[in-house]
């Protein structure tokens, strides 16, 4: 029996595909570092276990479970219009899988399959921008330069007149910020007076600094998932005098600002289309073979550096 902090590759039997199913041979997947390490360590709160389930997860928290939701593969069997196409699916790390055809999204021809593994992360960033509603000329800080924070910064950068600063304790993230076309600062050096701060660091210190960076009547969009860790929010100091706000953003529902006019499929289609932008390659900092996943998870849990870890299956 696997315990928290342990993982293994196991054999599973694929169910026979139905008339509306596809069989997908996985080419690439990616590790969603924050969420998957939370699951790996057994940190999913009992009260959020159902919400935290991956779409095709096997097993129940705290585990053992199959987990993951950033997979790209080629359709080997299914509807004629999908045969041979690269598709993205919110599926755990697995060499082959059977899912309803409605659960996959076709990867555009101008998006490399190896980059398309970021679609779930970019989809999360799209939802956050719909929630945040950034305006032309805004001063914006993104606190936390992980996969999600960098994706948010990448989407914010092209807005006319916007000044975007990526804020992180790791100075090596300055190189990623430059590749994305945004500024970079350590938390103590970050520019204040922001109209908007997007917080993704999943740390109490990051949230506190996010509030400090706001200008009067500014807003923090809180994207961090803390799992079962308690978090103290500094609502003293200038919080009330500055009329500051903290609002959550979570990808499980389409943002209320677009829910009446966009579906989940629309949001995913947009995320995949946005990945034609070569800047997103800067988020993929390591590629490992599928067979090394257990060692890779242990390595990440021990604090190995980097952003997105991409997993390669066979010859891809």
Number of domains in the chain: 2
Rounded to whole angstroms, the Cα distance separating 191 from 275 reads 29
- Structural domain contains residue 8: no
Q: Which residues pair with 112 in a beta bridge?
A: none
**Domain identity same for 179 and 240:** yes
pLDDT tens digit sequence for 106-157: 999 999 999 999 999 999 999 999 999 999 999 999 999 999 999 999 999 9
pLDDT for res 316: 67
Mean pLDDT for 38-45 is 91
Tell me, yes or no, whether 283 lies in a domain: yes
Is the confidence at residue 200, as pLDDT, over 80? yes
| 70: CATH | 3.90.180.10
Q: Which domain holds residue 184?
A: 121-248
Confidence category of residue 33, pLDDT binned at 50, 70, 90: confident
Looking at the structure, tell me whether residues 174 and 97 fall in a common domain.
no
Dist CA 90 CA 81 (whole Å): 20
What tokens does 206 get? 């990051």
Whether 130 and 168 share a structural domain? yes
By residue count, the chain amounts to: 316
Judged against a pLDDT cut of 80, whether residue 159 lies above it is answered with: yes
If asked whether residues 110 and 170 sit together in one domain, one would say no
Examine residue 280 and state whether it is found in any structural domain, yes or no. Answer: yes
Residue 200 and residue 100 share a domain: no
Q: What is the pLDDT of residues 216-269, one digit of tens each?
A: 999 999 999 887 788 998 898 889 999 999 999 999 999 999 999 999 999 999
- Which pair of tokens denotes residue 126? 């799209």
Give domain status of residue 257, yes or no: no
The pLDDT of residue 136 is 98
Domain end residue (candidates: 229, 248, 267): 248
Pairwise CA distance, residues 168 & 176, whole Å: 11
Residue 290 has pLDDT above 90, yes or no: yes
Closest by CA to 168, choosing from 188, 194, 187, is 187
């Amino acid at each position: 029996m696997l315990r928290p902090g342990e993982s293994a590759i196991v054999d599973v039997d694929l169910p026979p595909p139905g008339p509306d199913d596809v069989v997908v041979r996985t080419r690439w997947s990616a590790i969603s570092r924050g969420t998957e390490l939370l699951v790996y360590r057994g940190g999913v709160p009992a009260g959020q276990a159902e919400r935290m389930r991956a779409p095709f997860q096997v097993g129940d928290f705290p585990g053992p479970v199959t987990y993951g939701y950033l997979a790209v593969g080629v359709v080997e069997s299914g509807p004629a219009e999908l045969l041979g196409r690269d598709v993205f699916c919110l599926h755990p790390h697995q060499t082959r899988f059977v899912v309803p055809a409605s659960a996959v999204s076709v990867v555009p021809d101008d998006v490399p399959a190896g980059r398309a593994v970021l679609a779930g992360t970019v989809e999360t960033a799209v939802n956050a921008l719909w929630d945040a509603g950034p305006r032309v000329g805004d001063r914006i800080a993104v606190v936390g330069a992980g996969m999600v924070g960098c994706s948010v910064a990448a989407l914010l950068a092209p807005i006319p007149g916007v000044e975007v600063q990526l804020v992180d304790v790791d100075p090596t993230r300055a190189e990623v910020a430059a590749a994305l076309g945004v500024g970079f600062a350590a938390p103590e050096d970050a520019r204040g007076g922001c109209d908007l701060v997007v917080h993704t660091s999943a740390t109490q210190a990051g949230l506190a600094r996010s509030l400090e960076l706001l200008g009067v009547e500014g807003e923090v969009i809180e994207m961090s998932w803390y799992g079962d860790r308690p978090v103290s929010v500094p609502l003293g100091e200038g919080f009330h005098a500055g009329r500051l706000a903290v609002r959550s953003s979570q990808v499980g529902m389409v943002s209320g600002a677009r829910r009446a006019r966009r579906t989940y499929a629309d949001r995913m289609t947009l995320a995949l289309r946005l990945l034609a932008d070569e800047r997103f390659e800067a988020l993929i900092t390591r590629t490992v073979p599928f067979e090394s996943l257990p060692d890779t998870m242990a390595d990440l849990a021990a604090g190995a550096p980097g952003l997105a870890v991409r997993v390669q299956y066979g010859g891809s």
